[in-house]
Structure formats: C-alpha cells, structure tokens
Structure 1
Amino acid sequence: MDLIGLDIGSTGAKCIITDSDGNVMAQAYEEYSMESPISGYFELNPQIVWKAAQSILHSVIRQCNKRSTHLAGISISSFGEAAVLIDKEGRELGNSLLYIDCRGNEQLKTFIKKIEADEIILKTGLKPHSMYTLSKLMWYREEQPDIYAKIHTFLPFGSYILYKLGASPILDYSLASRTMAFDVRRLQWDEHIIKTAGLNKKIFPEIAALGTVVGQISLEAARTFKLPSNFKLVLGGHDQVCAAIGAGITEEGSAVDGIGTVECITPVFSKETINEQDMASSNLALVPFIKGKYTTYAFNFTGGSLLKWYRDQFGYEEKMEADLTGRSVYDIMSENVSDSPTNILVLPHFAGSGTPYMNPLAVGAVLGIDFNTTKSDLFRALMEGVTYEMRQNIECLEQAGIRIDKLRACGGGAKSDLWLQIKADIMNKTIVALDIDEAGILGTIILCGVALGEFSSYEEATRRLVKVNKTFHPQAKNRKQYDENYAKYKRLYQAVNEVMSNEAMER
C-alpha cells in the first residue's frame, strides 16, 4: 500500500508518496506568493494554491509510474486561521485573509464588549485575537456584506484541497480550534459565540476527528490524476499537530521541537492535568489531539530565520565556500564556533515575539559584545538566544502542568549538532534528533495509514516510520554558566521593551 501526504503552507505546497515502510517513492514542491493589495492586508489566492496542489500531485504520481495502482489514500496538513470562502455552487469567493492580515481588529473590539474574554478562553482555549477566522468572518459581514451573503461554507486550506478532490465540506478538531468559535472540550461549534459574533451557524462546516476517512476521490479527480476509483480521502489537520504525529509524539511527557523558520514546541497532555489559567496567561492554546489527548503551541517567530539573517548579513565568505564545495553553509559557519558558552545575550524578537508574550511590537537586541567578539561568537550567541526563549516557554508549559521529559527535534535546525547540544545544555533536557526531513507530511502519512488499516495503531506506525538519528544529553560543565545567563536573559525582555516603549511615547 502506497500513501500520499500533502502539506499546504502559506508560501508553498509539498507532497510525498511513501510505501508502508516509509520509503519515499516520490516527492515534489511548488512555491506561490501571498498578495498584499494595501498596507496591512495579506491574502492568499485559493485557486493558485489549488493549481500548485494539482501540479505536485501530477508530479509525484508520474514519478511512481506503474505503482500508481498501489496508491490507497491521501491526507493533508495545512496552516490554520485562514479560510477559503465557498458559495453554494462550490466556487471560491475571492482570496483568503491570512492570520497576519489586520482586517477584523475593529470587529473583535466590538465582539469582546459583548462576551467576556474568560468565556472565550474557557470554551475555545484561545485568548481573543483578530488573527482567528471568526474575526475575519465578522469583517466580511460588516465590510463586504455582498460576499458574506453568498457564503455557503468556509474551509481551511487542507480541507479545501480535500473538498476539491471530492470530500464534503469538513474539517478536523485541530483546525476548527483555530477559528475561535470551536468548543475544545465539547468538540463542537459554540452556538453562543457564533450568535454573539452575529454570524450564521449554517455556514460552519461539519467537523470530525483527525484521521477520519471522509470519502473517496471523485470520478472527475480520479480521471484527472489517474488514481484508483476507490482512492480514499483521510482528514488531516493543523501542520504543527501533524508534525507532532510525524515525530512519534503520542504520549504524555513527550514533545516535538520543530526547528524551522519558526520554532515551535508541541507537547502532548491530558486536559485534566493542566492549569488552564496558567496556560491562558502564557498565551498557550488548548488544541484537541489524537486518542483523547490535547496539545498546544509554544513558539517563537524566529528560529532558523535568525540564522538565515546572520548568513545573509555576515556569511558572505562562508556562502562562497559552500557554493564551491557543495557543503552546507551552516556547517561551514559552525566549524569555528567555540565549544564553550558565550556571555552574549540575544533577544530573538526580530519579528515580534511569540509565546508567552505574543507582542507584535517586541524588538530584538544583542547585549554583551566587545572588541574581542568574533563572527563565530555571534553565530553561537544567536543559537543560544533562541534557545533561552524556548527554555522560557518550557517553563511556562511546566508551570501549567505539562510535563516534558525529552524533546524530539526535527526541521532544518535539527541537522545542526552544535545547535542541538546547545539546546540540551540550556534546557537541561535530552534532545533526540530525528532522521526526518518533513515531520508534518510524515504525520499525514501516519494518519492515512492508521485510518486505512495499514498500521494497527499510532505506536506501530511510529515504530515502522519514525527514525532516530542522534541523542544529545546535557553537559554538566556548561550548566552553571547557562543558568546564570538565562537568569539575566529573563530580565532582558522587560528592559528592552520598556526602553522602546518610552522612546515611542517621546516621539
């Protein structure tokens, strides 16, 4: 049995086909661009995304040649919040508003005057914010009533692609939880929130658990992609949830550290074990997971993007060497880095802050450099700064009752032995590097395989598909210095943002 996994991101779509032992049979990727018609507006054209999905599906199926008859099903992951608006004829009603789009801000202010923020947090597991789908729908109702009147339903991008392949309008609990209208305990749409928002409950689609078989491919799509007529469509979910599944995170005490452009720690826990007030105070969402468990997202907007900034600003010579030798530029930059901690503090808020602050106006800082500071010192300090930030997030998770015994690392940053050892030392946690390029897509493969009976359980799928690379243990020799530096780091955010706030007020 061969399975297709597809991930829809905000800037590109990627797809792989694997056999039931996880061997990659084919893969493809295609980029697309968001649109920004005016300042503060950020949109994604769903038809362009569908075109890209079609292109990579054709590509991977062609790569499989005669094995296409073995293809059994597909599952899809995607980013959340943004929704494709669909009319009763199944047509898209324009572009989708991304989570960074400013529209919905004013509508949210009016909304939270009518309903207590605590009620929203209790029901949805979210602090009120204009990024969520509910705010965007309220904006359409007020500012684009002609379009709002035509909405038959709406779908996040993963569910939208399934819909185009033949599924009915349906989404899973994890993506529903990014709307700010979904009761994460009762696992259903909250009628009071929807009514208070002034929205029509009939436009809210059907919901189901991750990994539900939601039908089979339409005859038209089967002909288009040359797939079997009994090819199954399996409900995927939010990309971070799928990444956790793809990393083998299924039981409490474990978490995945996805070190990509954005760094995100995704743990597993039971809602009975947590302090929801502590979670809310740290801006940690409550998200339905598999097997009756829950997860959350502790994240920083700058992970690998901070090292990319360093490469572009300071790594010209190393990039030239990488181009000549074919080696990774990051491996070359790591070669001259000291084995010892630096005393440089880097506040990694180069694009605002994620959890626990969720401050879009937060700024970065570099403190402690002198004439002896080298490029390599700064490179290491950037990795340390990001890791201090994620240690603070781990402390917030543990304060809320979420135990983390070890971290499984995936993503581009997990290829750096230097960075993973820094993480183990600063966090005082064992870090297990996974031999996985795309944990999110592997998660959709696992969801598909379990749903179709190829794997008897998530545990069996993990044993067969998730490969461990190296393990990094904390080094006692660095513990004292890192603990001292971390204590200073925690005071840095308040100090920097107090200075920046005072300067803004003076201007």
Structure 2
Amino acid sequence: MHVDYIGVDIGTTGVKAVVFDEKGQERYKAYETYPMQSPTPDTAEQDPDLIYKKTISVLEQAIAFSNEDVNELRAVSFSSAMHSLMCVDSQGRPLTNLITWADKRSSAETKALQHSDSGQQFYERTGTPIHPMSPFAKLLWMKTHEPELLNRTAKVIGIKEYIFYQLFGEFVMDESIASATGLMNIHERAWDQEIMTYAGITIEQLPELVPTSFTFYKDHIPYIIGASDGVLSNLGVGAINEGEVALTIGTSAAIRSASSTPHVDAKGRTFCYLLTDDLWIIGGPINNGGIALQWVVEELVKDETISSDQAAEAVLALADRVPAGSNGLFFIPFLTGERAPLWNPEATASYIGLTRTHTREDMIRAALEGVTFNIYSVLLALQELIGFPGSIYASGGFSRSETWKQMAADIFDQPLHFAKSYESSALGAVILSMYTLGDIESLSHFKQHQHVDEKVIPNETSASLYRDYSSLYLELIRSLSPHYERLYALQQKKGVWI
C-alpha cells in the first residue's frame, strides 16, 4: 500500500487538487475553472460560493482516485492565491463577492499613501507594498465608499478562510496569507492595531491568526491550512536556501528568494511573506505574465477555427522565427497596470521602436521579451537584498515553451533549473504537510531530486545582446513613469478600458 497526499491549490482562474505519493511524485490531478467578473474596468471579483463548490469537487475527485487504488490518504493541505478579500456576516454568509488581487478600485486611496512617511512605515511593518492588490487597500476603499457595509461586516476574510469556515465552522487565517494582507506586523506576527484603525476595522473583524501547520480533522484525515501559493511555489521547486531564487511565469509572474529573517526594501519594491516560523520569502510579483501571451493570441493571431491552446502554440512558433531582440522592437508589458517594480496600477503597455519594417512575428516575440525583461528587473531589485543568486529554479506555464525558456535563460544570463512538476504550489503544500506530520525531517527533504528535470543554459550570443536590451528597457520604463497618471486620466475620460 502506498501513502497519498493531496495538495489543493486555489488559484486566480481555477482550483486544482493534485495527488502525490510519499516520494513527492505526482499521480493525479483534478482541475476546474471559474470566471472573473469585471463590470467596470477597475473591478475584479469572483463568486466565492462557486469557488467553494469547485474546490470541493476537485477535492472529492482526488480523494476518489486515492480510494480506488486502496491507498492511505495521509493528509490534505492547501495553497491559495494571495490578497483576496470578502466581507461576511456572523454566520459566514457573504456580504460581498470575493475581491481579488487584480481589483484596482482603491488606486486613489493608495496613491497618496504610497509615497508618504506613513505608507513607508506601514510597508516596513507588514512587508506588503502599498498597492490596490492588498486587502488593506481594499478596506481603505470600503471605508470611503461602503462604510455601512463595513460596519455590518462580522469578519473580513479571503477565499481560503471562507472555504475553511464552510468545512470546519471557524474563522482562521494562516500567517502566510495574513502576511500578504498589509494588516499583519511581520516582525511581531500579530495584527497591527494602528493599521487596522487606519483601515477602519477592529481586531474582532479579523480571523484568528494560526501557523501554516495548523490542522483540522475530517473523517480522520488531517486538513492542514497551509500557506500562500507564492511561498509554497518556492518550497515546491526547492528554492528554500538563502541565495536560491524561484522564478514563476504563469498568468502573472513572480520572482522570490528565501530568508531566515524578514527583510524589507528601503525603496519599497519587494514583498516579504512568511512560510514557517523560521522561513520567509522575499521577492516581487508582476501582473503581466501569461496575460501578455493571451493578449497576443486574441489580438494578433485571432483564428476561431482552432482552440486557444493551439493558438498559443502557433504564437510561440511564430516568435521562434524572430532573432533575439525582435529586430529592435520593445514591448512595455503593463496591460493591467503593474506591481513590481513600479507598483503603479495606472501604468499602461506600449510598443517602442516600431517601424514599417516590423512584422507581426516581431511584435509577438517583443511581447514575450517584454514580460521577461520586466521580471528580470524585479530580480535586479531583489539582488540588492540577497546578492547575486546562486541558482534559479523555474516553474509555471511558460515552462511548456522551449522558446520562452531559452529566452528567459538568455535574458537572465544564468542557467535555469526546471522542476519535474508544473504544480509547484500544490507540491509545496504537500511537503509542508509531510513536515507538519513528522513524515519528513526537514523542508529540504526532496531537494536532491525535485528539480533535476531540465537545465537550460544561456546562449552566449543572445545573452550578450540582451544585456544591452535590458539596460535600455529599464531606462524606458523609468522615462515613461511620469506620464502614466496623465495618460490614465485621458483614457478614463475617453472610456477606454485598461
């Protein structure tokens, strides 16, 4: 008989339940999607009850698979996207939809605070940059625009807390998710009273803080609360020693490194979130990862006769025809505003250097390069805190593209190590559950074999070219930054959705 572990990963666009064996090998995956609701350009909400139903569905499918093989189901553990917020009454009934990280309605509230002394102090205490993504920012918006709703709210929670309340009847939030709310003092590991008051809520309206190892039981099976998807992705790919970096490019993207103590950036460019009592993850996220590829597919390669997956493959094949540097064409990839390194929800995308000689293929490759330049710029900020990375471990949807993987290795000018499993966050949740239950002695138990699937080496010629391109890219985004506010205002006036 084998032992199974289930990692449930509640993401922005869908939820998956992945079955792993005791060696950390993936055996089965159930996956279901759910839509985003955007009735206005700045709104990004979801139906929490639909997400709960989809989560239970994939979990039941995974449990059924394990039972069919007559395996022992050792534990279920959870990973979740960060920064979601919803209000519920005392019975746990939703008073709002789930407001996701992508919601930008609090831009006005955060703009003035972002560069103030108070904003910097809040960031330094919480490790969460002042930005509309955070629950803190969403509460500021509610305080101004929906004060009666906030007064009627019994608890302010996120999606994982809602699911756990439905399953176990208690309002609890793991310290990893809490460290990404902008409301928890990461140095004291407690809700910050001054910041709560500033946001217009009381401590009674927040769930109980619990460690990422906190465990409930259902049908004699441990249900471990787990952590956020970002920090668990580091664990899943094996980037948990200082100096090791995890690169993830999916719908969005992020780059992160581990630290034994919390670190914040004097310039406010990076986050600092908790994984366990003595392990913190620092780094930066960008909004525009695979979103840029999706836009290219929809706007530059429309073809209703083929599936979206086939269209994406066609786009990547077209990009491969173009030399590194896209013949001098740059794409600034801020299609949905941007988090790191700008932390500016008003930032917009653009092509720069476009001439009559450029082709659709050039535009496609430039879009992928723009995403990669931008996440590389976040690494440069991170390096000021951690030094030059010893190793970079990569995961996410871009791992399926030979073209994009090579491009990333060339731009980073460093070998990239790709994990065996695409499901790094779910695997990280499982590793955390194994450690919690004492089934493994350390979180680094699988490091020797969990990320040896592929190593992509930079092409020296392309890497040399990209050094010049990266430098110019950084100068371009700095020079454009002062103009985003005015451009955003003009687009809002004209009714342009961004």
Query: TM-score, length-normalised on structure 2?
Result: 0.86
Deviates more, 1:394-403 or 1:242-251: 394-403
Q: Within the alignment, does 1:277 sit opposite 2:266 as a pair?
A: yes
After superposition, the Cα gap between the structure-2 partners of 1:103 and 1:373, relative to the gap in structure 1 and judged at 3 Å, is closer
Give me the whole-angstrom Cα distance separating, in 1, the residues matched to 2:58 and 2:159: 16
* DSSP 3-state at the match of 1:483: helix
Describe the superposition over 1:94-116 as per-residue Cα deviations: whole angstroms up to 9, x where unpaired: 42333344555676689899982
Give me the whole-angstrom Cα distance separating, in 2, the residues matched to 1:50 and 1:317: 34
Q: Within the alignment, does 1:491 sit opposite 2:491 as a pair?
A: no
Number of residue-to-residue matches in the alignment: 489
Which residue identity is paired with 2:474?
K
CA contact (8 A) 1:167 1:233 kept: no
> In structure 2, what is the equivalent of residue 230 of structure 1?
220
Q: Within the alignment, does 1:247 sit opposite 2:247 as a pair?
A: no
CA contact (8 A) 2:254 2:283 kept: yes
CA contact (8 A) 1:167 1:216 kept: no
CA contact (8 A) 2:325 2:466 kept: no
> In structure 1, what is the equivalent of residue 466 of structure 2?
482
Question: Which residues in structure 2 correspond to 1:71-470 (within 5 Å)?
Answer: 71-102=73-104, 116-137=118-139, 140=142, 144=146, 147-166=149-168, 168-210=170-212, 212-217=213-218, 229-271=219-261, 276-278=265-267, 280=268, 282=269, 284-290=270-276, 292-315=278-301, 328-330=313-315, 332-338=317-323, 342-463=327-448, 466-470=450-454
Deviates more, 1:73-82 or 1:358-367: 358-367
Give me the whole-angstrom Cα distance separating, in 1, the residues matched to 2:192 and 2:244: 31
After superposition, the Cα gap between the structure-2 partners of 1:69 and 1:203, relative to the gap in structure 1 and judged at 3 Å, is farther
Aligned Cα root-mean-square deviation (Å)? 3.4
After superposition, the Cα gap between the structure-2 partners of 1:167 and 1:20, relative to the gap in structure 1 and judged at 3 Å, is farther
CA drift at 1:431: 0.9
> In structure 1, what is the equivalent of residue 457 of structure 2?
473
Give me the whole-angstrom Cα distance separating, in 1, the residues matched to 2:304 and 2:328: 24
Q: 54, 63, 71: which is aligned to 2:65?
A: 63
Question: Which residues in structure 2 correspond to 1:21-60 (within 5 Å)?
Answer: 21-36=23-38, 40-60=42-62
CA drift at 1:275: 6.3
Describe the superposition over 1:35-67 as per-residue Cα deviations: whole angstroms up to 9, x where unpaired: 345564433222111111122222222333434
Q: Return 5+ residue gaps in structure 2 as ranges.
A: 494-498
CA drift at 1:190: 1.4
* DSSP 3-state at the match of 1:366: strand
Give me the whole-angstrom Cα distance separating, in 2, the residues matched to 1:373 and 1:111: 42
CA contact (8 A) 2:136 2:181 kept: yes
Q: Within the alignment, does 1:10 sit opposite 2:12 as a pair?
A: yes
Give me the whole-angstrom Cα distance separating, in 2, the residues matched to 1:424 and 1:414: 12
Give me the whole-angstrom Cα distance separating, in 2, the residues matched to 1:311 and 1:112: 35
Q: Return 5+ residue gaps in structure 1 as ranges.
A: 218-228
CA drift at 1:73: 1.5
Give me the whole-angstrom Cα distance separating, in 1, the residues matched to 2:38 and 2:245: 35
* DSSP 3-state at the match of 2:84: coil
CA contact (8 A) 2:127 2:180 kept: no
CA contact (8 A) 1:5 1:17 kept: yes
CA contact (8 A) 1:431 1:473 kept: yes
Query: TM-score, length-normalised on structure 1?
Result: 0.85
Give me the whole-angstrom Cα distance separating, in 1, the residues matched to 2:470 and 2:312: 33
> In structure 2, what is the equivalent of residue 221 of structure 1?
none
Give me the whole-angstrom Cα distance separating, in 1, the residues matched to 2:41 and 2:414: 43
CA contact (8 A) 2:232 2:275 kept: no
User: Is the radius of gyration larger for structure 1 or structure 2?
Assistant: 1
Describe the superposition over 1:466-497 as per-residue Cα deviations: whole angstroms up to 9, x where unpaired: 24222122333234322222222222124445
CA drift at 1:124: 0.9
CA contact (8 A) 1:152 1:203 kept: yes
Describe the superposition over 1:230-280 as per-residue Cα deviations: whole angstroms up to 9, x where unpaired: 1001121111111111111111111111111212112112447x56313x1
Give me the whole-angstrom Cα distance separating, in 1, the residues matched to 2:485 and 2:117: 30
CA drift at 1:21: 2.1
After superposition, the Cα gap between the structure-2 partners of 1:31 and 1:348, relative to the gap in structure 1 and judged at 3 Å, is same
CA contact (8 A) 1:74 1:233 kept: yes
CA contact (8 A) 1:450 1:461 kept: no
* DSSP 3-state at the match of 2:12: coil
CA drift at 1:503: 6.3
CA drift at 1:332: 3.4
CA drift at 1:131: 3.5
